[in-house]
């Protein structure tokens, strides 16, 4: 590159110009138009519309002799006030008066003509002023709404970041277990929750929950549930007492219409057993490798926060090498296609049986992709959470 090129085209100018918004690039070329109009369509169309309307009124005013049609100019001036910049519109007012004075064939006395023109000039300016004030107020309102919307989106994004902090990072290392989990919110924030809390080298506690409702309110209750669950898990290993205290704590901070379905399970690889409490949540699936059958871990008590007193039962199941546990929320089974058919338990069970030989992450991805493919025309209508645990006790002492 020569020195002349550097002088004529300073480095960085192209970058600055390319970073300018399209609206800022167009405004110098579209000086007659208002900013919001300049970014919409062809630049010549509003100008042609206003000038064409003025010409049409001038022609009618010239043809009619019996009466003054100066008031008709208010229509093109009103259009100009909406589409063109106010300086341009104000300059069109005397142009319309001159056209009327020059083209109108009526013969009237000079003082009356001067008065008529001055009165029309003041009226036109006043009407244009009112329209411009209305447009300015509307633009100010639009800017305020846009600012509030941007602030709300930032707050929602911040809430989503805080919510992601409650989800597990990484996968715990428990001998004999392969674990994979995911949560995809329906909106920016969601009401689903899952976590796995290692107790010792051979035992892990798993929780999955779903808050009633969607959006920010559900996300807030989900965050409270996740925080309370962490505290309870570190405080006591008795799952029944954990659930009872959670029910009291969540019921104290939520209204009667809000509740949480929750499944808490403890997997012990030494005893090769799962103990669980299902509080109104979807039945988890246990694929038993020996018999190649599915067992459902059914609900045994009402959802958290629904009743002031919680009566729960602790259930358990034996595990063997090759068994697969699948936890999920209703966003999976309630995914619908165009015929309003749900993905349902039968399809989910078939996917689990078909993919039982896959890794935990592979089966999790297979479940999600199967439900997504089933509802691809409609899309998911709720948060989707899937948690898969695969047992591999080979090499571990019985």
Residue 5: per-residue pLDDT: 43
Task: Give CA–CA dist 38/31, Å, rounded.
Answer: 8
Task: Give CA–CA dist 391/177, Å, rounded.
Answer: 5
Nearest C-alpha neighbor of 327 from the set 301, 358, 300, 352:
352
- 10-residue averages of pLDDT along the chain (398 residues): 40 40 44 70 80 87 78 88 86 88 74 84 90 88 90 79 76 88 84 87 91 77 82 74 85 77 92 93 94 90 81 90 95 92 94 94 96 92 93 76
C-alpha angle 203/204/208, rounded to 5°? Answer: 155
Task: Give CA–CA dist 282/329, Å, rounded.
Answer: 6
Three-state SS for 333-349 is: HCCECCCCCECHHHHHH
20-49 burial code (b ≥16 CB/10 A, e <16): eeeeeeeeeebebbbeebbbeeebeebbee
Residue 310: per-residue pLDDT: 67
List CB contacts of 358: < 8 A, sequence separation 6 or more: 366
Residue 9: per-residue pLDDT: 41
CATH number for the domain running over 166-391: 3.60.40.10
Task: Give CA–CA dist 43/66, Å, rounded.
Answer: 38
pLDDT tens for each residue of 39-48: 666 777 888 8
Tokens of 369: 């992709």
Task: Give CA–CA dist 235/230, Å, rounded.
Answer: 9
Residue 13: per-residue pLDDT: 38
Judge contact between 164 and 157, C-beta under 8 A.
Answer: no
Nearest C-alpha neighbor of 260 from the set 237, 230, 228:
228
List CB contacts of 92: < 8 A, sequence separation 6 or more: 50, 54, 76, 77, 80, 84
Residue 110: per-residue pLDDT: 78
Helices (H), 39-85: 44-63, 74-83
Provide the angle, in degrees to the nearest 10, between the axes of the packed helices 110-165 and 74-83: 30
Please tell me whether residue 15 adopts helix, strand or coil conformation: helix
Judge contact between 299 and 281, C-beta under 8 A.
Answer: yes
Residue 39: per-residue pLDDT: 64
Residue 15: per-residue pLDDT: 38
Residue 109: per-residue pLDDT: 77
- Write down the domain spans for the chain: 3-159, 166-391
Residue 158: per-residue pLDDT: 77
The residue ranges of DSSP E strands in the chain, in sequence order, are 177-184, 192-200, 203-211, 260-268, 273-279, 284-288, 293-297, 315-318, 324-328, 384-391
């Amino acid at each position: 590159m020569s020195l002349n090129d550097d002088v004529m085209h300073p480095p960085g100018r192209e970058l600055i110009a390319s970073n300018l918004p399209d609206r800022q690039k167009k405004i110098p070329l579209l000086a007659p138009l208002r900013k919001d109009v300049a970014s919409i369509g062809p630049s010549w169309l509003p100008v042609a519309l206003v000038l064409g309307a003025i010409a049409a009124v001038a022609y009618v005013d010239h043809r009619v002799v019996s009466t003054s049609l100066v008031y008709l100019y208010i229509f093109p001036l009103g259009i100009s006030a909406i589409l063109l910049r106010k300086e341009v519109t104000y300059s069109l007012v005397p142009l319309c008066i001159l056209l009327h004075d020059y083209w109108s064939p009526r013969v009237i006395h000079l003082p009356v003509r001067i008065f008529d023109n001055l009165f029309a000039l003041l009226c036109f300016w006043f009407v244009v002023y009112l329209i411009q004030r209305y447009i300015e107020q509307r633009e100010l309102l639009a800017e305020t709404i846009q600012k509030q919307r941007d602030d709300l989106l930032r707050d929602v994004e911040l809430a989503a970041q805080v919510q992601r902090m409650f989800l597990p990072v990484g996968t715990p290392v428990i001998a004999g277990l392969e674990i994979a989990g995911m949560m995809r919110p329906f909106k920016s924030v969601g009401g689903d929750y899952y976590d796995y809390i290692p107790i010792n080298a051979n035992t892990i506690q798993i929780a999955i929950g779903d808050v009633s409702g969607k959006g920010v309110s559900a996300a807030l209750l989900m965050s409270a549930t996740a925080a309370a669950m962490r505290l309870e898990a570190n405080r006591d290993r008795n799952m029944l007492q954990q659930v009872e205290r959670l029910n009291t704590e969540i019921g104290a901070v939520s209204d009667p219409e809000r509740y949480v379905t929750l499944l808490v399970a403890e997997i012990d690889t030494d005893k090769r057993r799962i103990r669980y409490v299902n509080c109104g949540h979807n039945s988890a699936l246990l694929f038993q490798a020996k018999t190649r059958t599915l067992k459902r871990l059914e609900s045994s008590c009402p959802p958290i926060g629904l009743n002031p007193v919680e009566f729960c039962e602790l259930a358990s199941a034996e595990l063997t090498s090759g068994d697969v546990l699948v936890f999920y929320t209703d966003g999976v089974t309630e995914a619908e296609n165009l015929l309003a058919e749900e993905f349902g338990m039968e399809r989910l069970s078939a996917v689990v049986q078909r993919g039982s030989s896959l890794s935990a992450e592979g089966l999790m991805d297979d479940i999600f992709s199967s439900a997504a493919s089933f509802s691809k025309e409609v899309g998911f209508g709720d948060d989707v959470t899937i948690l898969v645990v695969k047992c591999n006790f080979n090499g571990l002492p019985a």
